[in-house]
Homo-oligomer: A and B are copies of this chain.
């Protein structure tokens, strides 16, 4: 869970040269920006190229088609978030309680998805619009990520740290939805990321009602 770019070198080629790799990364970042702002159908290779500082045909040196470029953006976004949360969980003290692990995952998810917010909003906004074939690799990542969260909740429930009458699956989906949507409205000039993390953890742990 340490790699974050999934070096998709051309078939059979050795590792890309540094310069080549940086250009590919610039194109990918540019595509994430354009995809999040213009949507799947509105993502023009011309705009991606301008944003990346190359001409449009140069994109075809790194990606075989527009759809493959978009598929890579969706995959990389999902993959990096899962990798980061996974790494954070793996680094927690062994005596961390299941609920402590859930709260740590909430923090890790929020911090990372807002750090790479172009990829996050690109995924969130286009999840229902990108054709299924193009989403396939990203979907596999998201399934794995869903399983990770399901495990977190089931361990908390088995440890008696969750309310007994909770529908664990529905609640998990609601919480992940609240976090994903934060990428749409969070404004660092109005609230610090620390405040957002704290508010989310409080909501998850105790809701809004006074005890």
Nearest B-chain residue to A181, judged by Cβ:
B177
Within the oligomer, what is the number of copies of this chain? 2
What range describes how many residues of A lie at the interface? Answer: 35 or more
Contact with B along A1-40 (1 / 0, CB 8 A): 0000000000000000000000000000000000011111
- Are A166 and B128 also in contact (CB < 8 A) when A177-B184, A181-B180 are? no
Residue pair B177, A210 in contact (C-beta under 8 Å)? no
Residue pair B207, A204 in contact (C-beta under 8 Å)? yes
Contact with B along A150-174 (1 / 0, CB 8 A): 0001001000111111110111011
Judge whether A129 is part of the interface by a CB distance below 8 angstroms: yes
Q: Mostly helix, strand, loop or mixed at chain A's interface?
A: helix
Judge whether A42 is part of the interface by a CB distance below 8 angstroms: yes
CA distance A86 to B50 in the complex (A): 46
Judge whether A202 is part of the interface by a CB distance below 8 angstroms: yes
CA distance A196 to B173 in the complex (A): 10
Residues of B contacting A174 in the complex (Cβ-Cβ under 8 angstroms): 178, 181-182, 199-200, 203
Judge whether A147 is part of the interface by a CB distance below 8 angstroms: no
Nearest B-chain residue to A186, judged by Cβ:
B173
Question: Which of A55-63, A119-127, A133-141 forms contacts with chain B?
Answer: A119-127
Residue pair B199, A167 in contact (C-beta under 8 Å)? yes
Residue pair A175, B162 in contact (C-beta under 8 Å)? no
Contact with B along A174-207 (1 / 0, CB 8 A): 1101101110110000010001101110111111
CA distance A85 to B81 in the complex (A): 35
CA distance A198 to B170 in the complex (A): 10
Given contacts A41-B41, A170-B196, 10 further A-B contacts (CB under 8 A): A36-B128, A166-B208, A167-B199, A171-B202, A174-B178, A178-B178, A202-B207, A204-B208, A205-B208, A206-B207
